[in-house]
Structure 1
Amino acid sequence: MTTIQKTPPTGKGTIQKKKNNQGRVYYQVIKFPMGYDNDGHVIYERSQCFRTKQEAEDARLELMYKRKYEPAVSAKTNDTKASSKSVSAYTELMDYVEAYVIPNYRDNETKINTRRQFEIYYFDELSKVTVQECTAIVIQKILNAMNERRCPKATYQILKRFFFWLKRQGRISRNPMEFVTCPKHVPKKKQNRSPLTAEEERKLKKFLHSDDFMAIRYGALILVLLSSGIRPGEAAGLERCNIDWEKRAIKVEKTIGHSREIQKVRNFTKTPQGQRWVPISSEACEALKKYLNARPDSQWVFTSQRDPQKHIELECMYAAINAVGRRAGIKRSLFGYLFRHTFITNAVHHNIPAAELRFITGHKNTSMINEVYANHQNDNIISTYRDFFDGI
């Protein structure tokens, strides 16, 4: 006879300090138990991310209050019809998820992440009804809740593939995703993606030629990014054999990409047109020579500060670029792709044809250049004419 757990769990979970791809610190409440099944096993755990440790502590206290004074999401007893229905709905849902994940995903990391997505984010709504009773309203609630935290496109695609698989297998008679629309995500704080102004570019270059440690360590990297327009991952994947000193050009062959928290060297670029020769300025070429002469011999051009035989990590690059911007007196935050935006905008401003420019930037076609960077060109024209009229 199985022992029925009638009291809520007492575990408090753990709060871990982590960093995202941009080097920003956040705190995550991990494995907070919310309820048990009839055999006493934890069947529902919650994990959430917060910007500060105080927010994580407050959220954990709120979860403890809900767990104690409100009915747990998972069933504690079989006394009520709702609790038994919740257990059966959870069991049915996870059985379907397991049957869906195993044949459709090869990578073990993807399988684990998909299971966790259903357990953490989708279980609150999907456990209230069976899979056959699930409607478009239930799924729309999940997407709206996700939209408050981050962009719900990934959630929409996961649920769309899952319910399409259920319909194809004959588990449901009607696919509710046919009547669901993905809500448009509007971030609370938009990142300023406008290119560097002439004044900001002047301040940055003046600082990079100073004797500051950050300027000596990362000056060559920033000048290469600013004068070539290559992506940050492509700069991290540059090797010494990719530099042609006579032609003053670099060859982009590979990139550094993310796989969860592990950075991998990929022997290919973001697009098929990404493998290319890119010219750099004489200023960047001289800075690159000084940088390489001062560094120990290594396969990589830009190396890690801890291990000179390894390439620079993207998180370190992003944090260093932002720190250099603050030291240079630039008020807004700098990021790796900002130099690419600045390079392409300046090239469009100097009337370089988009058909030729895309071979340097590695774009598939000219649509991105014409649609995005042409607007920034108008801003530069306005600022140029404003300076002209102010001087009269």
Structure 2
Amino acid sequence: MDGLSHKTLKNYREMLTSFHSQVDKHITKITTDDIRTYIGYLADERRLKDSSIQTHINTLRSFFSWLDMEDIIKKNPMRKIRSLKIDRMKARRPLSPEELEQLRDGCCSYKEKALVEFLVSSGCRLNEVTGIRTDQIDWQSRSVVVLGKGHKERTVYFSVRAKLMLREYLSCRKGGEALFASTRKPYAAMSPRAVEKALQRIGERAGETRRIYPHLMRHTFATNALHGGMDITTIQHLLGHSDPKTTLIYAELRPDAIRYAYEKVIA
């Protein structure tokens, strides 16, 4: 567990606690059938998506592999448990222009509108957004310096639409130093989980069938930037990627965009 973040360790603990609450056996007595029953419980009773169930499976696989390596158990019950087949491309698909407009229609306040517009026009990571203070914003250039992975600073920008929504939101809120603050005293910065819940509520109101989450907004930003003609190196810098290959995963080219580029340059 060395090198893992506090959040990752917390998630591991929660998943293992959930498993223990359903499979109330001594660790040496747990069988493959017990684990299959638990996976069924996650799908049928908790109604988790395949991607979430796979996260539980991965956690259990790591846990039982460690028990096996330490000779705490004689037989690893996870050896016969296969991973789920997940359509990664579908899960990673960015919001289409129509879906983004629907999401905007699902907003009920300037705070929600500002959150959606800032995320989709800046490409910020969740932890970066929650760490921004209002006094860090350069309104004239519509930019802000954020602290990214590896404690590396970079400048990100936001759209005119995001600026207008932010101005409206900030003018009517009660207080707080954070760009996105909670509604209750002492008006502390919204937690990452609070931002996730806010986006999920907006998506549900908008009638989105899939879960709306911060990383999806970042993915949508990258794809929109690529379709708009932005150089991949510039997108890489704005996203804070050290490897351009990672940027190519985020920036997805639609077939219609490929044809448009061909017609423009070749035909």
TM-score, with normalisation over the residues of structure 2?
A: 0.69
2:223, 2:250 within 8 Å by CA — same for their partners in 1? no
Q: In the aligned structure 2, how far is the partner of 1:120 from the partner of 1:325?
A: 31
Corresponding letter in the other structure for 2:257:
I
Question: Is 1:320 aligned to 2:198, yes or no?
Answer: yes
Question: Is 1:243 aligned to 2:121, yes or no?
Answer: no
Following superposition, the deviation at residue 192 of structure 1 comes to 5.0
Question: Is 1:282 aligned to 2:160, yes or no?
Answer: yes
Q: In the aligned structure 1, how far is the partner of 2:130 from the partner of 2:14?
A: 27
DSSP 3-state at the match of 2:62: helix
Q: In the aligned structure 1, how far is the partner of 2:63 from the partner of 2:209?
A: 39
Identical-pair percentage: 22
Question: Is 1:155 aligned to 2:60, yes or no?
Answer: yes
DSSP 3-state at the match of 1:277: strand
Tell me which residue corresponds to 1:200. 99
Aligned counterparts, 1:72-151, within 5 A: 116=17, 119-120=20-21, 124=25, 126-128=27-29, 138=31, 140-141=32-33, 144-148=36-40, 149=42, 150-151=53-54
Tell me which residue corresponds to 1:381. 257
Q: Which has the larger radius of gyration?
A: 1
Q: How many residues end up aligned between the 2 structures? A: 242
Unaligned runs of 5+ in 1: 1-100, 130-137, 254-268
Question: Is 1:183 aligned to 2:59, yes or no?
Answer: no
DSSP 3-state at the match of 1:244: coil
- The CA RMSD measured in Å over matched residues stands at 4.2
Tell me which residue corresponds to 1:366. 244
2:15, 2:59 within 8 Å by CA — same for their partners in 1? no
Corresponding letter in the other structure for 1:158:
F
Tell me which residue corresponds to 2:112. 218
Tell me which residue corresponds to 1:291. 169
Q: Deviations over 1:246-286 (max 9, x none)?
A: 32112222xxxxxxxxxxxxxxx4x3276321111122122
Unaligned runs of 5+ in 2: 43-52
1:321, 1:336 within 8 Å by CA — same for their partners in 2? yes
TM-score, with normalisation over the residues of structure 1?
A: 0.50
Larger % of strand: which?
Answer: 1
Q: In the aligned structure 2, how far is the partner of 1:118 from the partner of 1:329?
A: 32
How has the CA–CA distance of structure 1 residues 308 and 192 changed in structure 2, closer, same or farther, with 3 Å as cutoff? farther
Following superposition, the deviation at residue 305 of structure 1 comes to 1.9
Larger % of helix: which?
Answer: 2
Aligned counterparts, 1:37-48, within 5 A: none
Q: Deviations over 1:49-105 (max 9, x none)?
A: xxxxxxxxxxxxxxxxxxxxxxxxxxxxxxxxxxxxxxxxxxxxxxxxxxxx9xxx9
Following superposition, the deviation at residue 161 of structure 1 comes to 1.8
